[in-house]
Amino acid sequence: AHVPGSWWTTDDEPTPELRWPESVAVYDAMRSQDAQVGSVLRSVTYPLRRTPWRLDPAGARDEVVQLVAEDLGLPVVGQAVRPVVRTRDRFSWPEHLRLALLMLPF
């Protein structure tokens, strides 16, 4: 059933521990403590996290490509890899990807 002011909700989960928001702690424990669950999650996420990500300009304007590449900290296909001047308090593509992939267990 829809609760006003929420983007989704469901009342049809028969296990109380798996109803939101209690489910967050349960799924977090499963992902960190259950070897089989951890194995499945790693088999799905590691190939994505280990991929050498890069930006393909695909005909975009040079200034747009450079801005996006610098903002995301990704190399551009066909260009020499530029060293990152500083990393503290900057956007981190690997960290962003790690956090985005947390949507899978949660």
Q: What is the pLDDT of residues 34-47, one digit of tens each?
A: 999 999 999 999 99
Q: What is the pLDDT of residue 101?
A: 95
Max mean pLDDT range (14-18, 74-78, 83-87): 74-78
pLDDT, mean of residues 65-93: 86
Query: Is the model's pTM score more than 0.75?
Result: no
Question: Are 55 and 72 within 8 A, CB to CB?
Answer: yes
Give me the residue label for tokens 């089989």. 36
Q: What is the pLDDT of residue 56?
A: 96
> CA 14, 18, 20, 26: dihedral to nearest 10 degrees?
170
Q: What is the pLDDT of residue 80?
A: 86
Integer CA distances (angstroms), 64 to 6, 25, 54, 67, 81, in order: 36, 41, 15, 5, 17
| Confidence bin at 7 (pLDDT 50/70/90) | low
Q: Of all residues in the chain, what percent carry a pLDDT higher than 90?
A: 61
